[in-house]
Amino acid sequence: MIEDINVEQFVTLLAEGDVTPIDVRSPGEFEEGTVPGSVNVPLFNNEERSEIGIIYKHQGVKAANDRGLEIVSAKLPGFIRELQSLNGRKVFFCWRGGMRSRTSATLLSLVEGKVYRLQGGIRAYRRWVVETLNNYKLNIPIVVINGYTGSGKTKILRSLHEKGYPVLDLERLAAHRGSIFGGVGLEPNNQRTFDSLLVHELIRLRNSPCILMEAESRRVGKVTLPPFLIEEKERTPQLFLELPTEVRVRNILEDYEPELHKDACLEAFSRIERRIHTPAAKDIRRALESDDFAEGVRLLLEYYYDPLYEHTISAFRENSTTIRAATMEEAEMKIQMYLKKASLRA
């Protein structure tokens, strides 16, 4: 039995858990963006999809369907086994909720019983994501964590998340750290993936007493934050972290691991090198090339990031609460004390 469900019903199932969304599109389509938590079990691989498309264009629907049936028939046993190995309630989808998801759902229903199929496919889901973000209203307070580069904002937020605090980790959703070096060692998400992850996080957090988030800029890696988040960040009083330079340097070295990504760090530095006063820029490059990464980071903070950040945050400092700490652990403890005093507990 196949039960067709709309996007709202699909989102409800996802929130309930014990659901496996199955994207039966090609791997190439899957990589462009899918539903968070989906498993890709393609009915056709990239080459097969391309072949069928060419046949459809030049020979028509029947010839394309005949070739598709021939391809599916040859791989049917393995395809069914892979679907049966998945757990939970299974929801199939393709691009428009058409033949690929219908075929896949039908095949599995013959051996397993009830399965689900998303009406309108990923196209309908994407439309829902965009409309939800465009019309989203934040009805709970946010607490913005700000501070100079290397202050450990992301690490502290993730530690608070592990302790049960309601954290919106935008850098995790973007798979990027937000700076010119932010993609080092990472594979940044595209806008479609980020939007999907974000809307589900907002749903998860909608009944929280507050939302903790970092003071990100409008753009994080490859993605752009929705206007409502930027507007809320700009009008909300912020917590500004101040930690010693040596702690910040150590945080950056631990996070970026430049010894493992030296070429990527040098490439990123080349994109900002001309913005730095020549003697300092030469010293930074010399330090990075000679593997003196601690010195290179210290100089980057002194001659590039701190002056840049001071200019950016000057408008927020007047309404911010400064948290001075010798360590990240102390800073986190003071943030928890602030939240408790403001009755914004986990």
DSSP letter at 274 equals G
Query: Dihedral (C-alpha) 51, 54, 60, 64: value to the nearest 10 degrees?
Result: 10
**94 a catalytic residue:** yes
**Residue 255: burial class (beta carbons within 10 Å; 0-12, 13-18, 19+):** middle
Give whole-number Cα distances, 56 to 62, 65, 96, 230, in Å: 8, 8, 17, 45
DSSP label of 302: I
Residue 106 neighbours by CB under 8 Å, 6+ apart: 2
Question: What burial class does residue 153 get, using C-beta atoms within 10 Å of its C-beta: 0-12 exposed, 13-18 middle, 19+ buried?
Answer: buried
Choosing from 19, 91, 94, 212, which is the catalytic residue?
A: 94
Q: How far is 155 from 52, CA to CA, in rounded Å?
A: 48
H/E run at residue 204: helix 191-205
User: What does the radius of gyration of the chain's CA atoms come to, in whole angstroms?
Assistant: 24
Q: Alpha-carbon distance 264 to 187, whole Å?
A: 12
Going across the sheet that includes 19-23, the strands are 2-5, 115-118, 89-93, 19-23, 39-40
- The alpha carbon torsion through 59, 63, 68, 69 (nearest 10 deg) reads 180
Hey, which residues are catalytic here?
94
